[in-house]
Amino acid sequence: MDDEKTAACKMDGEIMNESKTNEHIPTRDEAWILLRQYNDNDSLIRHALAVEGVMRHFAGLHAPDDVEQWGIIGLVHDLDYERFSDSHCVKVREILENAGWPQKWIRAVESHGWELCVPVKPETLLEKTLYTIDELTGLVTATALLRPSRSVLDLETKSVRKKWKQSGFAAGVNRTVIEKGADLLGAPLDEIITETILGMRNVAEAIGLQGSPELN
Ligand SMILES: [Fe+2]
């Protein structure tokens, strides 16, 4: 069992939960308050929610005991971008350390900027997933918005694949990072795209990709 995982112990005949390291485990509410404290931009908030949704989905597939942790880390991964874009993935360490977040969670946030703004290589499955799907959510969003429905609910993997090949489309999406992430994960790109779409469908309304009611 990992250090930060909750250990069950017996005390006075009752099962009680306590952290082995007495480490503070951040809640989703705390993460949301921090996010709103440092971010006003609606599109960045929607991006944070999209990445959270996808991380929760992947955790459900591969780490079902850690869905909350994966989701919260996804939610805050770009926490410092709006106000500290020059020190993105660096400033966030100071912010999260001041908030008492676990070192492993902070490292996971940092590592999504591997070779872009920090030298922290994604090592865990959580870190590799975050690194891979961060940019991909941007391509999925841009592709969904092109559809008549403007929705992720009826978006298919093949549509995203088609747009992947058009380098001028959503040119800001770094395809190389996504490919490097897929290599780290050892998973086919199509599978990652499919699961990313499914994760974004779970939060479609929150990220503005549920489509227009009159078109559905
Ligand atoms: Fe991001």
Whether the Cβ atoms of residue 116 and residue 177 lie closer than 8 Å to each other: yes
Type of residue at 187: A
Among 113, 7, 129, 124, CA closest to 59 = 129
> How far does residue 50's CA lie from ligand 1's centre (Å)?
9
The tens digit of pLDDT for each residue in 33-75 reads: 999 999 999 999 999 999 999 999 999 999 999 999 999 999 9
How many helices and strands (H and E) does the chain possess? Answer: 9, 2
Contact 109, 89 (CB under 8 A): yes
For residue 126, the model assigns a pLDDT of: 98
Q: Could you tell me the distance, in angstroms and rounded to a whole number, from the CA of residue 2 to the centre of ligand 1? A: 27
Residue 54, Cα to own-chain centre: how many angstroms? 6
Vertex 87 angle, CA 85 and 89, to 5°: 95
Please tell me the pTM assigned to this model: 0.89
> What is the pLDDT of the chain when averaged over all its residues?
90
Ligand 1 midpoint to CA 106 (Å): 15
d(CA 209, CA 185): 27
Which segment of 1-10, 55-64, 141-150, 177-186 scores lowest on mean pLDDT? 1-10
Q: How sure is the predictor about 212, in pLDDT bands with cuts at 50, 70 and 90?
A: confident
Calculate how far, in angstroms, residue 112's C-alpha sits from the geometric centre of ligand 1.
8
